[in-house]
Amino acid sequence: MRELVLAVDLGATKILTGIVSIDGAILGRSRVPTPGDNPDGALNMIADSARELIRVYEIREQEITGIAVATPGPLAFPEGVVKDSPNLGWGEVEFRKEMSRRFGRPVIVEKDTNMAAIGEHRYGRYSNCQELLYITVSTGVGAGIITSGKLYRGRSGGAGEFGHMVIEAGGARCNCGRRGCMEALASGSSISRHLDEMFKQGSGQGILACTASGVKPGARELGRAARQGDQEARSMIARLAEYLGIGIANMVNVLNPEAVVLGGGVMLGLKDLLLQPVQEYVFRHTFALNREHLALDCTELGDDVVLYGCVAAVLENRC
């Protein structure tokens, strides 16, 4: 009999659901927008899209070895309670309990960045690294830390909030209430905000010219404009790279990882345009000892890294 995992990546803007076999083959996936009204709407939507996927791919109940759901943080561990999530706009939600109730069986719940880190660690290019840092640069920014081959959650599950490391004292206001956080300076939402301001002032025309009609410009359009030589796009990317470089260099000096793997929509949208200057910055601004064995790279697992993490979480829970 097939052994399958029902894997869900709940994001601020979309819910990605996948049926993945335990050897890492994705049999089917679906993507729906995250309902913005309330937690109940999102929880029901997760259960509905999972049921739909099971129906469409004719999966039998007994083939499902486990269910795992990734959610934006902060997420209390081991309770599985979402607490004041700035990206979801939720207060306190008993996420694991509510998910398990809707599915009628135990559900593994983990913060999305942690899920991505364990997915990268099991299925990615650096699976042999015992000290691995996964960083997502998407609507939000976050990190998952693998140390001695195990996920590091800290005392209460709060470790890895890389997006709320202050990079610029007194800088742009962040959704968390502080100023100058990484997420306020180098994320999908900061790019959107910056572009809106530029367009209001009549600049950024080269970026607009690279944007299909009806599409809100973001990292991909920025990348396209930069590749065509647009100076405004290039200087925006240079600034993003510097902020990310500062943050990653701090993490490399604190944690001394063997691999730092980058993913998320902004990173995957810009690829080498962002990766290369970040690498240069980090290798210039870290201690020789810390960078000696360091690999700094993009994930090869793309948007599915969290789904792979869900499978890894189910396998880890089983043994």
Query: In the complex with Zn ion, which residue's Cβ is closer, 88 or 210?
Result: 88
Q: Which residues of 256-278 are buried (b: 16+ CB within 10 A; e: fewer)?
A: bbbbbbbbbbbbbbbeebbbebb
Backbone region of residue 64 per phi and psi (left: phi > 0; alpha: psi in -120 to 50; beta: other values): beta
Which residues in the 261-280 window bind Zn ion by CB under 5 A? none
User: For Zn ion, which stretch binds (CB under 5 A), given 104-112, 177-185, 230-238, 262-270?
Assistant: 177-185
Query: In the complex with Zn ion, which residue's Cβ is closer, 147 or 175?
Result: 175
Closest CB 176 distance from Zn ion, rounded Å: 3
Asked whether the beta carbons of 130 and 158 are under 8 A apart, the reply is no
Q: How far is CA 170 from CA 95, 185, 262, in A?
A: 34, 12, 27
Q: Which residues of 220-241 are buried (b: 16+ CB within 10 A; e: fewer)?
A: bbbbbbbeeebebbbebbeebb
- Which residue of 176, 198, 255, 315 would you call a contact of Zn ion, by CB under 5 A? 176
Which residues in the 33-52 window bind Zn ion by CB under 5 A? none
Query: In the complex with Zn ion, which residue's Cβ is closer, 184 or 260?
Result: 184
C-alpha to C-alpha distance for 160 and 165, rounded to whole angstroms? 10
- Which residue of 8, 81, 174, 313 would you call a contact of Zn ion, by CB under 5 A? 174
User: For Zn ion, which stretch binds (CB under 5 A), given 8-16, 172-180, 220-228, 261-269?
Assistant: 172-180
Q: How many residues bind Zn ion (CB under 5 A)?
A: 5
- Of the chain, the end-to-end C-alpha distance in Å amounts to 19
C-alpha to C-alpha distance for 183 and 73, rounded to whole angstroms? 13
Query: In the complex with Zn ion, which residue's Cβ is closer, 176 or 208?
Result: 176
Closest CB 140 distance from Zn ion, rounded Å: 9
Is residue 166 part of the contact set for Zn ion (CB under 5 A)? Answer: no
Q: Take residue 248 and report the two structure tokens written for it.
A: 């990653």
User: For Zn ion, which stretch binds (CB under 5 A), given 8-16, 43-51, 180-188, 305-313?
Assistant: 180-188
User: For Zn ion, which stretch binds (CB under 5 A), given 114-122, 137-145, 167-175, 244-252?
Assistant: 167-175
Query: In the complex with Zn ion, which residue's Cβ is closer, 18 or 142?
Result: 142
Is residue 181 part of the contact set for Zn ion (CB under 5 A)? Answer: yes
Closest CB 141 distance from Zn ion, rounded Å: 9
C-alpha to C-alpha distance for 18 and 4, rounded to whole angstroms? 10
The neighbour count for residue 56, using CB atoms within 10 Å, is 11
C-alpha to C-alpha distance for 162 and 111, rounded to whole angstroms? 13
Q: How many helical (H) and strand (E) elements, i.e. helices and strands, does the chain have?
A: 12, 13
User: For Zn ion, which stretch binds (CB under 5 A), given 6-14, 166-174, 217-225, 239-247?
Assistant: 166-174
Query: In the complex with Zn ion, which residue's Cβ is closer, 44 or 175?
Result: 175
Kindly calculate the radius of gyration of the chain based on its CA atoms and give it in whole angstroms. Answer: 19
Closest CB 232 distance from Zn ion, rounded Å: 26
Query: In the complex with Zn ion, which residue's Cβ is closer, 87 or 256?
Result: 87
Is residue 99 part of the contact set for Zn ion (CB under 5 A)? Answer: no
Query: In the complex with Zn ion, which residue's Cβ is closer, 31 or 178?
Result: 178
Query: In the complex with Zn ion, which residue's Cβ is closer, 154 or 177?
Result: 177
C-alpha to C-alpha distance for 133 and 147, rounded to whole angstroms? 8
- Which residue of 164, 204, 225, 244 would you call a contact of Zn ion, by CB under 5 A? 164
Asked whether the beta carbons of 46 and 10 are under 8 A apart, the reply is yes
Site residues for Zn ion per CB under 5 A: 164, 174, 176, 178, 181
